[in-house]
Structure formats: structure tokens, C-alpha cells
């Protein structure tokens, strides 16, 4: 089960993504602000952080790069179709795996989430799936 944190103000888009991710067996959480995302990530760091490009460009770039991710995690940005492109600071650009146009690139988004999860598992940073047997990172094992 991969923890995924979706951050943005487009409620219907994020809810649709969260439902699709849940159907794939992931654990999505939705935050409507960067402050809410920071609080959520402090409690349980996500493997994938998906944030609105507009939030990042409106002075939230430093705050986004400061959000803790699980080992092997990645940050994805998204923008809505038809929104104007706002330049991002170089520090944020270096930390972003992809910049997606959602909902048009939904399949690419799902493939990237799957890739990050597989990469984390292959490098021993992620938790194996429940069908995979023991949980190497669980403190009781």
C-alpha cells in the first residue's frame, strides 16, 4: 500500500484521482493547502507527493521542497488543462519527477506512481505488498 499525498484546490480533480488510486490499492490523502500537506506528511510521509503547480508557483516552492517524503519517494506537479504556465524556481524543478497536465495525462500519472512504488521496492526502501509476505520495515518482525 503506497501512501500518496495529493495537494491542491481543485476538489473534484483530486477526489477523482484519489478514487482511482484507492482502486489500485494505494492509500491517497488529500490536502487543500501546503500547510495541511506539511502536517499530513509529518504524521505519515508519503511515497508520492502530487502538488498543484499553481500552489508551488505562488510562493509555496520552498515549502513543498521541505515536505518529508518516504525513502525513495518522488514529487509530481500537475496543472489543469488550459492554465497558463508559471515558471518554477530551479530548486523545485530539480526535485520534481514530472509535471503533468491533469486530467488529460491520468494514465501517465498512474504509470509514474506505479514506477515510483516499484523503484522503492526494488531498492529495499518500500514496503512489500501484503501478498509479498513479511514486512521488512515493520518493527514487530
Q: pTM higher than 0.85 for the full model?
A: no
**pLDDT beyond 90 at 139:** no
Residue 94 has a pLDDT of: 87
The structural domains of the chain, ordered by start, are 3-131 (3.40.50.2300)
Task: For residue range 26-72, list pLDDT tens digits in order.
Answer: 999 999 999 999 999 999 999 999 999 888 777 678 888 889 999 99
Residue 90 has a pLDDT of: 83
Average of per-residue pLDDT values in the chain: 84
Local structure of 129: helix, strand or coil: coil
CA pair distance 16, 28, nearest whole angstrom: 11
Residue 125 has a pLDDT of: 72
Three-state SS for 84-121 is: CCCCCCHHHHHHEEEEEEECCCHHHHHHHHHHHHHHHH
CA angle 126, 88, 106 (to 5 degrees): 50
| Mean pLDDT, residues 19-24 | 95
CA pair distance 128, 121, nearest whole angstrom: 6
Amino acid at each position: 500500500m503506497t501512501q500518496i499525498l495529493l495537494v491542491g484546490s481543485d476538489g473534484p480533480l483530486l477526489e477523482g484521482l484519489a478514487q482511482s488510486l484507492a482502486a489500485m490499492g494505494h492509500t491517497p490523502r488529500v490536502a487543500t493547502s501546503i500547510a495541511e500537506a506539511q502536517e499530513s506528511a509529518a504524521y505519515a510521509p508519503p511515497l508520492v507527493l502530487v502538488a498543484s503547480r499553481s500552489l508551488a508557483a505562488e510562493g509555496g516552492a520552498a515549502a513543498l521542497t521541505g515536505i518529508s517524503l518516504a525513502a525513495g519517494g518522488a514529487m509530481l506537479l500537475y496543472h489543469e488543462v488550459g492554465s497558463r504556465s508559471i515558471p518554477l524556481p530551479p530548486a523545485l524543478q530539480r526535485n520534481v519527477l514530472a509535471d503533468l497536465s491533469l486530467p488529460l495525462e491520468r494514465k501517465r500519472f498512474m504509470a509514474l506512481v506505479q514506477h515510483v512504488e516499484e523503484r522503492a521496492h526494488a531498492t529495499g526502501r518500500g514496503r512489500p505488498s501484503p501478498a509479498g509476505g513479511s514486512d521488512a520495515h515493520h518493527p514487530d518482525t
